[in-house]
Structure 1
């Protein structure tokens, strides 16, 4: 039987749902569960409720009671955590004596690198670049579409619609991509304007696969958008001094698609991510457990 002092819990919370995994100190899964959306900025009440329900479901599968959970080593990476007060609000709502809460960027990096040093380029609906060293982690980006998120799915989709507007005005040559997007969202310019006015980041991001497919096929406007995205990513990498053994991981739903477009010396450093954001939460919780064990 697993000692309660060996219980390690990782939590990954995002806009599409949350995941909880309970493992022992050796990494053996004791119980796991999925729950509803968990973005603290979008809906703090539902975030706390959905994570709590998933925790109790995973605990029931693991045969753990409330006293066991109180003694567990826990790390939760939750989307939309923007401040210490956000993290504390989540931690206080969960059934643990001690729970470290961060945003999901931290757990994404930990999961991708798995304790190694290097760079994580995360590209999904949003985007960020992180550089992890033995001294700490530096984050670039993650500002949201209104202020940044360059190269993200939302940014790609919006940039493609900007190319559509330029093509409609006769300032750039139209292409299969711009014609297809106009037909999909239009056909009249006012229809595209109405879409853009009401579109969320996810709505823009839904166009990103078409943009990347078009760029791969040599579409002039698709390539223009992707080249602008690459220019941003390369600037980020140029601000980072990689050591000899540092690696680069591309994560997120769209990250791996950029591998073939990056410059050769960057491609040479790319390796597959070691794991997911949930794996990162577990890894950080296990590191917390190891530290506790060494100090006890």
Structure 2
């Protein structure tokens, strides 16, 4: 018998968990670092178990309670070939485990399980549409070939601008100076960083880009305006493909929305819940 429900939102920047009882009372939460499919199945498994354990420990539950927990995992990148099969072969000490993409649980949470679409703008970007028994994603194929309008894309554009400013191809701006300052204004250090940089590392520059765009930096504004165009095209495509409503989600969503045209912003609905609410619905929790 399920007594507790555990929701997990595992993305490119962090992994979060929330444990509730059958009445929806939050008993414990957890948080750790990146937990997407790109880090490898063993590391992913460890990160998921760690984040779940934090919530369970915070709730004061013992190992005897684990078989009474139903868990729903929303994990970035599990649509890649073979990943779901690998996850299903792993051991989890819970009564029931279900896996979906992080975009799918964001959609469930935003519309309380009803039909609709979600556009996630965070480290990456992806749209997820659910209409009746049909669901599909748009974009989200991974950085750098996809993830338009995302934090990683903003960071990549900023680093490119900074390098061009360093070697004299473009005029330095406050943004380029702020980026290169993190590397002591030395191109070789940028290159060495690039060799190991992850999407999360690029996305770490996104707040800097947004701050300088808000302050009027010409290049920063052009980067953000280009990202806004990609986001608007996402939204247009979502409605063209039949979604009755669309909400934004992700860490960058609130900062990007003011850069959208008024008519595009007016098409959006407010999210009724967050991805962890969606993960709990996936786990089988039903609000009283």
Note the residue ranges of structure 2 that are not aligned, 5 or more in a row. none
Asked if the contact 2:74/2:279 (under 8 Å) is kept, the reply is: yes
Q: How many angstroms apart in 2 are the aligned matches of 1:81 and 1:36?
A: 18
Asked if the contact 1:22/1:32 (under 8 Å) is kept, the reply is: yes
Q: How many angstroms apart in 1 are the aligned matches of 2:62 and 2:101?
A: 26
Deviation track 1:29-70 (CA, whole Å, cap 9, x = no partner) reads 4x434264443441423433453455566557475765x654
How far is 1:83 from its partner? 4.9
Aligned to 1:234: 232
Asked if the contact 2:103/2:127 (under 8 Å) is kept, the reply is: no
Aligned to 1:34: 30
Asked if the contact 1:186/1:192 (under 8 Å) is kept, the reply is: no
How far is 1:280 from its partner? 0.8
Q: How many angstroms apart in 1 are the aligned matches of 2:178 and 2:55?
A: 46
Q: How many angstroms apart in 2 are the aligned matches of 1:204 and 1:55?
A: 27
Aligned to 1:10: 7
Deviation track 1:87-121 (CA, whole Å, cap 9, x = no partner) reads 34434411235321122222122222322443322
Say what the alpha-carbon RMSD is for the aligned residues.
3.2
Relative distance call for 1:188 and 1:58 in structure 2 (3 A) is closer
Asked if the contact 1:35/1:50 (under 8 Å) is kept, the reply is: no
How far is 1:147 from its partner? 1.4
Aligned to 1:94: 92
Name the SS for the 1:148 alignment partner: coil
Relative distance call for 1:168 and 1:23 in structure 2 (3 A) is same
1:77 to 68, 74, 77: 74
Note the residue ranges of structure 1 that are not aligned, 5 or more in a row. 291-296
Aligned to 1:294: none
Q: TM-score, normalised by structure 1?
A: 0.79
How far is 1:78 from its partner? 2.6
Name the SS for the 1:137 alignment partner: strand
2:20 to 19, 22, 31: 22
Q: How many angstroms apart in 1 are the aligned matches of 2:54 and 2:193?
A: 40
Q: How many angstroms apart in 2 are the aligned matches of 1:241 and 1:205?
A: 28
